[in-house]
Amino acid sequence: MLQFVVSVKDRAADVFNRPFFVPHRNVAVRDFTDEVNRSAVDNQLNKHPDDFDLYLLGTFDDNAGTFAMEDQPVVLVRAKDVIQTAVAAV
């Protein structure tokens, strides 16, 4: 089965975080979106959405044990594009 290899890039630090594997790129986008919108004191993605983007790095075939990497990382979604602003209570 193919697993997608994705990573969150911290643009402020100009580094990619440890890659992780997901069964589909849409799962990665959904999980990233959920995390960006999780309000918590220690959640840097939520505090600084302009600094983080999710990238597709390639795929991993767990039957063959091989990787197929993109020539360049491909942006899947930017945190600033999925952050939801709080709506004030009326």
Is 90 a domain residue? no
Whether the model clears a pTM of 0.85, i.e. scores above it, the answer is: yes
| H/E element, 16 | strand 15-16
Count the domains in the chain.
1
Among candidate residues 47, 37, 50, the one with its CA nearest the CA of residue 78? 50
Is 22 a domain residue? yes
Check residue 85 and give its pLDDT: 74
**DSSP track, 17-85:** PPPEEESSHHHHHHHHHHHHT---TT-HHHH-GGGEEEEEEEEEETTTTEEEEEEEEEEEEEHHHHPPP
Check residue 62 and give its pLDDT: 95
Is 15 a domain residue? yes
User: pLDDT by residue for the chain (90 residues), tens digit each?
Assistant: 999 999 999 999 999 999 999 999 999 999 999 999 999 999 999 999 999 999 999 999 999 999 999 999 999 999 999 999 754 444
Check residue 82 and give its pLDDT: 97
Check residue 40 and give its pLDDT: 95
Is 42 a domain residue? yes
Is 43 a domain residue? yes
Is 72 a domain residue? yes
Check residue 76 and give its pLDDT: 98
Host domain of residue 8: 2-82
Is 88 a domain residue? no
